[in-house]
């Protein structure tokens, strides 16, 4: 579990640095949109951090349906990876299906 946490934190750090370097504006969201984990009507790095905190047992989700980014009825590290990929533009829409 400790290695997974380190990997998640490393990925979050990379995304945060990329957002800062690229000076990307946060993506505005409408009410209860998929990916807006913390419910602030914006999809940004704060949502990825909130999802990581949920996965490590340090955060309570207010709406589980907006956190299941691949709609497999399981909220896990894959959902966080999808959110990170969305934030940096690798994935262009949510929900993600491969």
* pLDDT tens track for 52-77: 999 999 999 999 999 999 999 999 99
Query: Does residue 88 contact residue 15 with C-beta atoms inside 8 Å?
Result: yes
Could you tell me the two tokens for 68? Answer: 């299941």
- 35-49 pLDDT per residue, tens: 999 999 999 999 999
Partners of 27 in beta bridges: 43
**Domain formed by 2-87, architecture:** Orthogonal Bundle (1.10)
Domain layout of the chain by residue ranges: 2-87
**Mean per-residue pLDDT of the chain:** 83
Whether residue 63 contacts residue 57, with contact meaning beta carbons closer than 8 Å, is answered with no
């Amino acid at each position: 579990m400790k290695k997974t946490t380190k990997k998640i934190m490393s990925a979050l750090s990379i995304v945060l640095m990329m957002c800062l370097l690229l000076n990307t504006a946060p993506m505005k969201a409408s009410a209860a949109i998929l990916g807006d984990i913390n419910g602030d009507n914006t999809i940004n790095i704060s949502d990825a951090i909130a999802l990581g905190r949920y996965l490590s047992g340090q955060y309570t989700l207010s709406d589980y349906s907006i956190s299941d980014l691949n709609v497999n009825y399981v909220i896990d590290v894959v959902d966080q990876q999808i959110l990170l990929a969305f934030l940096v533009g690798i994935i262009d829409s949510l929900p993600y299906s491969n």
